[in-house]
Structure 1
Amino acid sequence: MASYRYDHAHIISPDPEKAAQFYVDMFKATVKSKGTAPDGTPMVAVDMSGSNIFFKGRAEKPTVKAPPAGSTYGLEHLGIVTDDLDAAVAELKAKGATFVQDITNYRPGIRISFLKGPDDTIIELLERKPVS
């Protein structure tokens, strides 16, 4: 039987370098590579604690068919876990992050908050604690 594991998120951006730099500045991601994708668009790969995020420009002729206009299905947000949500929110606000939802107790053991990412993306910060 085949095995599976998460590998990456791939985000199309009008400015891939700027989008990648947001994750470097805010979340201490590291740039793995910068280059050109096979379709000729710029591409930047970052590593965030072992998870890959690829930022790429929009191709004139995309290799993957786009969803129909007006589609509301697809990626809603990226989730990033932290061991100290209060400290993370304070740190990110000090760096200029814009939060769209303050810290909320989602359910026992899980607290969440949401901030704006580059290109109108939404990023969820979450903290998981054992429930007694």
Structure 2
Amino acid sequence: MAQARLEHTNITVSDPKRTAAWLTEVFGWHIRWQGPAMQTGYTVHVGSADSYVALFSYGGSKPRQEDSYRTIGGLNHIAVFTDDIDAVETRVKAAGFTPVNHADYAPGRRFYFHDQDGIEWEVASHQVAS
């Protein structure tokens, strides 16, 4: 059987252009497409040649009220893999976010941070602790 791969995910954010700006700076991604959304609002696709995050704003969207980890269908976090976790952490801090929950795991390291919309991001690497 042919294996499927994740091509993209679509999340609602307060400002797609602002989120895309820090995603390109922190993760080295590029904007693949941007423009009016299908029904209303605005969308920016940002990522690599193989996959991306679609950043959508309907306009007038409300902040999440519930804890995603306790809500069926809630988005808990988005994980990004890197070969240089220290450099990414430096860029996360420069973007104004606070890395938390650092941990070593077999075979590497990880940390998390929340963006301006409260979306949790995980950064993981197979680099061992120095």
**TM tier, shorter chain?**
0.7 to 0.9
TM-score by length of 2: 0.77
3-state SS of 2:6 partner: coil
Amino acid at match of 1:81: F
Superposed displacement of residue 3, structure 1: 4.6
In our comparison, the structure showing a higher alpha carbon Rg is 1
1:100 is displaced (CA, Å) by: 2.7
Counting only pairs closer than 5 Å after superposition, residues 33-112 of structure 1 correspond to structure 2 as 33-48=33-48, 50-58=50-58, 70=66, 72-73=71-72, 74-101=74-101, 103-105=102-104, 107-112=105-110
Unaligned ranges ≥5, structure 2:
none
The alignment's C-alpha RMSD in Å is 2.5
Out of 99, 118, 122, which is 2:120 matched to?
122
- Are the counterparts in 1 of residues 110 and 125 from structure 2 also a CA contact under 8 Å? yes
Tell me by how many angstroms 1:49 deviates.
5.6
- CA deviation map 1:64-100 (0-9, x unaligned): xxxxx85623211010111122232234323433213
Percent identity at matched positions? 26
- Cα distance in structure 1, aligned partners of 2:107 and 2:32: 34
CA, structure 1 residues 90+129, in 2 after alignment: closer, same or farther (shift >3 Å)? closer
2:37 is the alignment partner of 1:27: no
- Pairs aligned (count): 120
**2-side partners of 1:5 and 1:109: how far apart?**
23
